[in-house]
Amino acid sequence: MTDKEQNDILEQWLAQYKSLIFKIVRSYAFTAMDREDLFQEISLQVWRSVPSFRGECAVTTWLYRVSLNTAIRFSQRERKRSENRADLNDSHQILLEADAHHDQRLEWLYGEISKLNAIDKSITLLMLEDFSYREMASIVGITETNIGVRINRIKKLLIEKSKKHDLHGV
C-alpha cells in the first residue's frame, strides 16, 4: 500500500467517523493542548493501522480499538510537556473548536465520564455507542460477563449522580 492510498483512507475515515474520535479525545484529555496531542497521536496510530485492516470487523470497531488503546496509554504515560509545546508551536492548530451548541447535560456527562478510571471510561464510551456485549468484549479483551457487571455498575452510578445533579445542581 502506498503512502497516498494510506492517507486517502485515513482522510475518508476521518471525514466519516470524526465524531467517534472527538468523543474519545474529549473523554481522555482535558486541556486544549492535551486534546490536540491525543488527536494527533490517535490519527497517527489509525494511519499506521490502515494496512492491517482486513475488513474482518466494522470500521467503527476497528477505530474504537485503535483509538481507545492509544487513549488509555496516553492517559497513563508521562508526557513531556515542553516537547509537546514545541511541536505545537512548530505547526498550525489541527483541532479547531466548532461553533456548536453547548448542551449543559452533555458537559455534565463528559464531566462524569472523566472521573471514571481509564478502563471504565472506555466501556462507557462503547456502551453509549450501542456496541453489543460481544463486540465490547472483543475490543477490550475481557469476558462478556465482566463487561455486563461493569456496565451495570457504571449505569447505576451515572443515574444516581444525575439525580443528585438534578436535585441540587451539583
CA distance 42 to 63: 9
Print the binding letters for residues 92-131 with another protein: x by CB under 8 A, - otherwise.
xxxxxxx-xx-x-xx--x-------xxx--x-----x-x-
Identify which of residues 141 and 170 has a Cβ nearer to another protein in the complex.
141
Residues in the chain, total: 170
- Of 9-38, binders to another protein (CB under 8 A) are 10-11, 14, 18-19, 22-23, 26
Residues in 38-67 at the binding interface with another protein, rule: CB under 8 A: 40, 43-45, 47-49, 51-53, 65-66
**Count of residues binding another protein (CB under 8 A)?**
67
Nearer to another protein, 40 or 133 (CB): 40
Mind giving me the DSSP string for 48-60? HHGGG--SSS-HH
- Distance of alpha carbon 142 from alpha carbon 69, whole angstroms: 14
Q: Is residue 133 part of the contact set for another protein (CB under 8 A)?
A: no
Q: Identify the CA nearest to 136 among candidates 27, 61, 59.
A: 61
- What long-range pairs does 29-36 form, CB within 8 A, spacing at least 24? 29/71, 29/74, 29/75, 30/114, 32/95, 33/84, 33/85, 33/88, 34/79, 35/95, 36/88, 36/93, 36/94, 36/95
- Contact residues for another protein, defined by CB under 8 A: 7, 10-11, 14, 18-19, 22-23, 26, 40, 43-45, 47-49, 51-53, 65-66, 68-69, 72-73, 76-78, 87, 90-98, 100-101, 103, 105-106, 109, 117-119, 122, 128, 130, 138-143, 145-146, 149-150, 155, 158-159, 162-163, 165-166
